Amino acid sequence: MKISDSIEPKTGKTTLAQEVDALIRLYDVTELEKLREATEPKWWEHGIVVLLFVSALGMLASGYKLIPNNVAAIHWFVMFWVVLFVATLVAVIEFVLRKLRALRRLYELQSRLLRHLMSQQAAPFRDPSSGDDR
């Protein structure tokens, strides 16, 4: 006698619906986990902000030292544009990092809402005799 001979196939539309629903949920959960891992903060992201600050200070110091000092008006005019360029660069990178953080928070919120909706939808399929009342 083989093991497969002793297993009776389950019949019924509700059993089939439960199995299909479980497969779809399993696929959705694995996709959510992949997305969560891709969007979670990495250890090196804070280092990028520090590196950005240090490089901005270095660029400002280089700009100040490399600009010819023989005409004061040209010196301060060029220095103004160097400062403006560095400030814009820092602001754009900070803006992008804040948007990424907001997207991560949005992902977490939507994941919680999706889990809640999935648990509400699964309630009719639960067996009341199993005692699983989550």
Domain ranges for the chain: 14-122
Q: Could you report the per-residue pLDDT of 109-129, keeping only the tens digit for each?
A: 888 888 888 788 766 655 555
- What is residue 1's predicted lDDT score, i.e. its pLDDT? 46
The secondary structure of residue 130, as a DSSP letter, is G
- Triad 4, 5, 11: Cα angle to 5°: 85
Q: Could you report the per-residue pLDDT of 73-109, keeping only the tens digit for each?
A: 877 887 888 888 888 888 888 888 888 888 888 888 8
**Number of neighbouring beta carbons within 10 Å of residue 71:** 10
User: Which pLDDT band, with edges at 50, 70 and 90, does 6 fall under?
Assistant: low
- What is residue 134's predicted lDDT score, i.e. its pLDDT? 46
